[in-house]
Amino acid sequence: MNIRCHGSRPGEIALNVVAVVVTFNPEPARLVELLAALATQVDAIIVVDNGSTIDVLAHIKSSSLQNVESIALNSNLGIAAAQNVGIARARELGTNYVLLSDQDSIPGRTMVRNLFDAAEKIRAAGKRLACVGPSYLDERQQNPPPFIRVTGFRLERCSVLAEDAVVPVDYLIASGCMIPMHVLDQVGGMREDLFIDYVDIEWGLRARRCGFQSYGICAAKMRHSLGDQPIEFLGKKLPLHSPLRHYYHFRNAVLLYKEHWVPYNWKLVDGWRLLLKYVFYSLFAKPRVMHWRMMTVGLWHGLCSRTGKLD
pLDDT tens-digit series, residues 129-142: 999 999 988 776 65
pLDDT at 143: 60
Q: What is the pLDDT of residues 49-62, one digit of tens each?
A: 999 988 888 888 87
pLDDT tier for residue 7 given thresholds of 50, 70 and 90: very low
Residue type, 217: I
CATH number for the domain running over 2-224? 3.90.550.60
- β strands within the chain, DSSP E: 2-6, 17-23, 44-50, 68-73, 97-101, 105-107, 129-137, 147-151, 154-158, 166-169, 178-180, 213-224, 228-233, 236-240
Residue 277, classed as helix, strand or coil, is helix
Residue 275, classed as helix, strand or coil, is helix
Average pLDDT estimate for 75-90: 97
Average pLDDT over the chain reads: 90
pLDDT tier for residue 227 given thresholds of 50, 70 and 90: low
Domain layout of the chain by residue ranges: 2-224, 229-303
Q: How far apart are CA 32 and CA 221, in angstroms?
A: 19
* Residue 55: partners with Cβ closer than 8 Å, 6 or more residues away: none
Burial 118-129 (b: 16+ CB within 10 A, else e): bbbebeeeeeeb
Q: What is the pLDDT of residues 92-117, one digit of tens each?
A: 999 999 999 999 899 999 999 999 99
Q: How far apart are CA 250 and CA 295, in angstroms?
A: 6
* Sign of the torsion formed by the C-alpha atoms of 37, 87, 214 and 230: positive
Q: What is the pLDDT of residues 158-197, one digit of tens each?
A: 876 688 899 999 999 999 999 999 999 999 999 999 999 9
Average pLDDT estimate for 263-279: 97
Q: Is the pLDDT of residue 275 over 90?
A: yes
Query: Structure pTM?
Result: 0.92
Q: How far apart are CA 91 and CA 188, in angstroms?
A: 13
Q: What residues does 270 pair with on adjacent strands?
A: none
Cα distances (Å, whole numbers) of residue 3 to 14, 46, 60, 121: 21, 10, 13, 35
Residue 261, classed as helix, strand or coil, is coil
- 170 and 205 in contact (C-beta within 8 Å)? yes
pLDDT tier for residue 14 given thresholds of 50, 70 and 90: very low
Q: How far apart are CA 240 and CA 269, in angstroms?
A: 20
